[in-house]
Amino acid sequence: MNSKLSNNLTLFCILLVVTGIMTVFLPAQFLTLRNFTSMGLQFPEYGLLALANMLAMITGGIDLSVVSIASLSGVISASFLSQYATLGLPVGTVILVGILIALTVSVLCGLLNGVIIAYARVPAIIATLGTQGLFLGISIIITKGHGIGGFPPAFLFIGNGSVLGMPTQFVIFVIIALLVGLVLTRTPQGFSMLMYGSSPQVARFSGINNEMVLIKTYVLTGLLSGVASLVIISGVNSIRPGYGADYLLLSILIAILGGTDPAGGFGTVLGLTLAIFIMQILQSGLNILSFSPFMKKFIWGLLLLAVMVFHYYRRMYALRRAVRKSSQNPPPAAPKEALSGQSA
Amino acid sequence: MKALLRRNEFYLLLVIVVFSLAITIVNPAFFTVENMFDLLRSSSGMAILAVGFFVVLLSGGIDISFPAVAIVAQYITVNAIISLGIDNLWLAFAISSAIGIAFGAVNAFFISVFRIPTFIVTLGTMNIFHGAMLEFVGTKAVNAGQLPNAFKGFGLADIFSLHRADGTAYGLSVFFLVLVGVILVTWVILKYTVLGRVIYAMGGNMEAVKRSGFNIRRTQFFIYCYVGFLASIMGIIHVSLIRYSNATYIIDSELLHVIAAVILGGASILGGSGTLTGTLLGVVMISILEKNLVLLGLSSYWQQFFVGLIIVLGVSITHIQKRIQNRRSLALARE
């Protein structure tokens, strides 16, 4: 509980600092309604993928196929939606079916990941690396590498419309994030995921069906990618296989920045959301200063390592304090060994 | 015989033979010395990358930064050679390996000092290396006209050459010699040195290696520097082969292919097991597949799909096999 609070507090301070810097140095461009609206338009796409990766990481895994799942479900749904004029069905039905197609495809993709990871016991990194190629491959085969576009105008509401003055995808993101938070904190599935992530053995011996937990986890990550695909294709009114390739790094970076432990067992939606805001503000800062995409790539890479190094020092500090405490009250003097683990 | 049948390599070889026969039936030109030489020339680079990736995998780690290292080493070296005006292949190799080894050391530093998961470290450094090069060095492609002669000469050099019916020559590229050298060195290290045995042991049980008093940090530095070094050699071979240096080449295409090849070769993704022979057979399989899909009536769009499928099926089968084996030995132990 304590580490959860301190993690989110740290993130909140970083967010304040980042916002403060932007406000002081770039008030004219940063503090505008237009900038905030455009930020609200941008982050749901990769924010949903980051949520997906957070869930995978909580179970000690990772999902490298999120972008490819979004690509595949987007392509299949798009090939249906773009035919709306010739189908002769009411537009509402077409849109509903299109959405269902995207979500179904993404759930099936997630199911495949889950089965491979849970039953074949393939490490998530390599399983999803493979399916990443597979899903992208299928979407390339379907489209022959071209883009698909031209959807019913009403469908574009998801990516371009607004609800109560807020961009629709922002509202979608908030709802989904709340749901994911509920799943994590209020359902047996969420509890089992956290438990599996801390220790698969303990989870198994407590009577948790590890295989089902993993399958459900990857179905969820798939589903989140499917929702992201809807936001993406609706936002640009087209889809091209390979769109959003940079989002993979971004989604992993955000999940880790949000305090999710890539070794499993820890992660909060609040932390992740704060991390998304931090990243989005940094992004728009870099955009305002017109940094090149290459420079961003460079900075995101550095940031990823910096966050990991920070986590390392925090862990060491906590460990050292625990050792000091235990040496003050003599009896349990064992943990010293843990600290000098790599003295060689 | 029984031992042979249990080997993953045996089945892979079988598949390669069957697949080659199928292609030969469709296109008799496939099974000619010339085409074999051509295949060796074009896949030597990938094989070198695969050897490097195999070593990392053995140690229980994973390195996805090697394509970035290869392209960055290549691009900087080519530009350095042009601006220095010293048209020398050895100098090119020296510059390139220095970059590759330095990048490897950066990976090893984060992995061993801060104990960050290898995948996350290399995901970060991959973007750092490539992003920094694109931003600070440049993005302009170097074409065949600008490419120093050393590279072009290296690309055309043959160990020996044969003559076609019409009198024109074709030969076995010196790339093959480099590849053989890399394989021999890696094989000797893995098989006959303490270092090599520690690499195997690290993949098997890291804790045991630690407790036995081996220096894990030094071994990790060796592993990641070696991968960086091999990637930098591949970078030079790649530019000599295609006579063109583009700042975004290698990065997307090679990663999945190399991983697919190594996994197909039977190396365990969890580390500790696998053979060089298997890895090389995996490379042969992937390169044949890559270059002959079109012959079998499938468009090049299918390539990505097949590579993904191979990884998925390959890892699933090896892991299920291992589970069955474990269960069997458990049952035996009970009896």
Q: pLDDT (tens digit, 9 = 90+) per residue, B102-145?
A: 999 999 999 999 989 999 999 999 999 999 999 999 889 998 88
Please give the C-alpha separations between residue B227 and each of A12, A340, B58, B169, B220, in angstroms, as whole numbers. Answer: 40, 29, 12, 35, 11
Question: Any idea what the Cα angle at residue B305 is, between residues B299 and B308, rounded to 5°?
Answer: 150
Q: How far apart are CA B283 and CA A231, in angstroms?
A: 39
> Quick one: tokens of B309?
């499928």
Residues of B in contact with A300 (CB under 8 A): 127, 131
> Quick one: tokens of A164?
């109560």
Answer yes or no: pTM beyond 0.80: yes
B315 and A126 within 8 Å at the Cβ level: the answer is yes
Listed range (A30-34, A201-205, B51-55, B190-194) with the worst mean pLDDT: A30-34
Q: Reduced to 3 states, what is the DSSP secondary structure of residue B171?
A: strand
A298 and B110 within 8 Å at the Cβ level: the answer is no
Question: Cα distance from B114 to chain A (closest Cα, Å)?
Answer: 6
Predicted local distance difference test score (pLDDT) of residue A184: 92
The domains located in chain B, with CATH, are 2-158+169-334 (1.10.3470)
Task: State which amino acid sits at residue A232.
Answer: I
Q: How far apart are CA A231 and CA A48, in angstroms?
A: 10
Predicted local distance difference test score (pLDDT) of residue A338: 45
In contact, A111 and A218? CB cutoff 8 Å: yes
- Is it true that domain A2-319 has CATH number 1.10.3470? yes
Residues of B in contact with A133 (CB under 8 A): 256, 260, 304-305, 307-309, 311
In contact, B74 and B239? CB cutoff 8 Å: yes
Tell me what the mean pLDDT of segment B93-106 comes to. Answer: 97
A144 and B319 within 8 Å at the Cβ level: the answer is no
Question: Cα distance from B44 to chain A (closest Cα, Å)?
Answer: 23
Q: How far apart are CA B118 and CA B112, in angstroms?
A: 9
Given CA atoms A299, A302, A308, A312 in this order, what sign does their dihedral have?
negative
Option in B130, B259, B269 nearest A123 (CB): B269
Q: How far apart are CA A150 and CA A72, in angstroms?
A: 17
> Quick one: tokens of A203?
């989870």
Decide if pLDDT at A3 tops 80: no
Bridge partners (DSSP) of residue A238 are A149
Decide if pLDDT at A343 tops 80: no
Q: Reduced to 3 states, what is the DSSP secondary structure of residue A52?
A: helix
Q: pLDDT (tens digit, 9 = 90+) per residue, A18-28?
A: 888 888 887 77
ipTM over 0.90: no
Q: Which residues contact A330 (CB under 8 A, 6 or more apart)?
A: none
Option in A133, A298, A304 nearest B132 (CB): A298
A312 and B256 within 8 Å at the Cβ level: the answer is no
Residues of A in contact with B266 (CB under 8 A): none
Residues of B in contact with A309 (CB under 8 A): 110, 114, 116
| B residues 58..117 contacting A (CB < 8 A) | 62, 110, 114-117
> Quick one: tokens of A286?
């870099």
In contact, B151 and B240? CB cutoff 8 Å: yes
Residues of A in contact with B135 (CB under 8 A): 292, 294-295, 298
Percent of chain B with pLDDT over 90: 45
A294 and B269 within 8 Å at the Cβ level: the answer is no
A292 and B134 within 8 Å at the Cβ level: the answer is yes
Q: pLDDT (tens digit, 9 = 90+) per residue, A171-188?
A: 999 999 999 999 999 999
Option in B117, B305, B323 nearest A262 (CB): B117
Q: pLDDT (tens digit, 9 = 90+) per residue, B164-217?
A: 777 777 888 899 999 999 999 999 999 999 999 999 999 888 888 888 888 899
Chain A contact probe: residue of B305, B309, B317, B318 with most A CBs at under 10 A: B305
Residue that the structure tokens 């972008």 belong to: A67
Option in B120, B301, B312 nearest A304 (CB): B120
- Chain A with chain B: Cβ pairs closer than 8 A: 149
Decide if pLDDT at B50 tops 60: yes
Predicted local distance difference test score (pLDDT) of residue B5: 59
Half-sphere exposure of A63 (CA within 13 A, CB side): 39
Q: pLDDT (tens digit, 9 = 90+) per residue, A208-239?
A: 889 999 999 999 999 999 999 999 999 888 88
B31 touches chain A (CB under 8 A): no
Question: Cα distance from A295 to chain B (closest Cα, Å)?
Answer: 6
Residues of B in contact with A132 (CB under 8 A): 308
B62 and A294 within 8 Å at the Cβ level: the answer is no
Supply the DSSP string of B56-112, one letter for each residue: HHHTT-----HHHHHHHHHHHHHHHHHHH----HHHHHHHHHHHHHHHHHHHHHHHH
Predicted local distance difference test score (pLDDT) of residue A336: 46
A116 and B312 within 8 Å at the Cβ level: the answer is yes
Among residues A189, A245, A237, the alpha carbon closest in space to that of A217 is found at A189
Where helices occur in chain A by DSSP H, the ranges are: 2-25, 27-30, 33-58, 66-81, 84-87, 91-118, 124-143, 157-160, 168-186, 188-198, 200-205, 210-236, 247-257, 269-288, 293-328, 336-339
